[in-house]
Chains A and B, each alone.
Chain A
Amino acid sequence: MGMRIAQAAVMLLALLFLAPFLLFFLNTFKDKDHIYDTFHMPNLLYWDNYSRMFATSDFIPSLGYTILICLFTLLIIVLFSSMAGYIISRTRNRWISSLYLLFAAGQIVPIQTSMLPIYKIGVATGMINTAPFLILVYVAGGCAFATLLFAAFTRTIPEALEEAAAIDGCSRAGIFARIILPLLRPAAATIVVTTIYWYWNDFTGPLIYLNSGEVSPLMMTVYKFMGTNNTVDWGPVYALCFMSALPMIVFFLLTQNRLLKGLVVASVKG
């Protein structure tokens, strides 16, 4: 009996959790007169909001821009931090192994604490408001986190493999590229599926460092589009929001098994 009530409560809560998504999705099809009519069932063939959104916003270029930013950020993070993580977990050098603590401590510095000096670096180098600058900022923070993970994963790889290769005359770089890196592939996948959301969904970073570029990352485009359409025309704003959230929703549904496993590993080791 108690079990039944608990199950019903969970189901009800699940529906409540989904309700905002449903409302959101339906809102993208509502015309101007019905946008605040909650229980109005819109005509799902009414595509006007979408076509107006495509016509008046920078959705397509922003989408490409965000994909590129995520791609470069994650590629660089995976490469740099797998190298660092490998060495940190194997080294006998006390300075290098203590980098683990430094990287861990770096995790707690809030962006608001370091944003002004970073902004200043951007202005001084003329890189502010460019995508490479944002990527650099992402890489700096992301590498610290990913290095901790890669170090933890490397510890599970037996050292005997490397010893054998070293005896055969393989260099350290060769050992890393031919033996370690392939074995770290699951760790790399975990990092990609757990952290891509940080970069895709990030708003604070572009707000501070990439505010007035020719093209904006998606979240910045949504923000600016909200500003121009505010209180006048919400339909296209919903359509834009939906289209920019959709890739991550699909990505999540496709990779959720790895993500859900990875989250636990990442949070324990990170």
Chain B
Amino acid sequence: MHPATAETPAPTLSVVIFSSRNEARPLEVLAELRRWLAGRALDHEVVLAFDADRAGLAHGVRGNLESLDRTRLVVLSASQGQLATIRAGVAVSTGRYVVTLPAFPQVDPSAVGVVLEALERGADYVVGCRAARRISWFNRLVSGVFNAMVHAATGTTYRDIACGAHGMRREVLAAIPSYGDNQLFLPILAAREGFTVVEASLPEHKTAPKLRVFSPGTYLGRALSLFTLAFLVRFTQKPLRPFGALGAVLFGAGSLTALVLLVQRLFMHRGLADRPLLLLALLLVTAGVQVIILGLLGELLIYLHFRDQVQYRVRDRIDIEGGMS
């Protein structure tokens, strides 16, 4: 969108401050960031990214834009959620490395330096993790439960899923599919594409709110994203395996029950017409068959749409005759 020209070469660092439903203090974060950057000879730019339902906030910032050096603003025209806001911010940035910060005091501005250092050491994607957090028992509980659920669902071990401070090389975001509604999708998708994802311990902001309570919809939304994530990570390639296993269990339980009833009918002269268990047996069998067929439909989708897609990424190649790369 803003290609780097000869006069304005791409900076080393772009900081994207994103403001969607739960982040509403971009100017504070920006001011602190600028104070931290002021003492450093770091070639940088700042992008403020707003979801459409934060357009009012963006309008206020736009009035000050003239006074903000090396700062760009992007506002989504339709409400698309956190991940789309971050993606928009990264898309209009130009830096070689991109660090994202949520628009409320979550981590200390020096966290940007920690993330940048990890990127410069060779990481493709950096996930933040707030060290020594001073938070209420409620948030500790919510965060503990949510992290545990994410670990169980995806097999990852990131300790602080809710930390909005992430860093990435520019090319990473371009290479991963545009998918999901939560920032958490980014490191998981990046790791699936074979990028090196590392976790960095970041200092928490000294005025970080001890208690943050969101609307029930936010919690529900996060829990639902988890289903999507678990499915994405575990079953994308082979839907018939989980569905087939579940269907086989249902079918087997139903068949066994029906068999017992049949044996009782044939050899013990116990009538079938007054056995509600027969209904349960048939229900299990028919449900099992239908679950297996759903798995088959999933396989059909994969065959029809993804069978020609490349499922690997070559990192290195040794080829003495043809030249090494």
A binds B: no
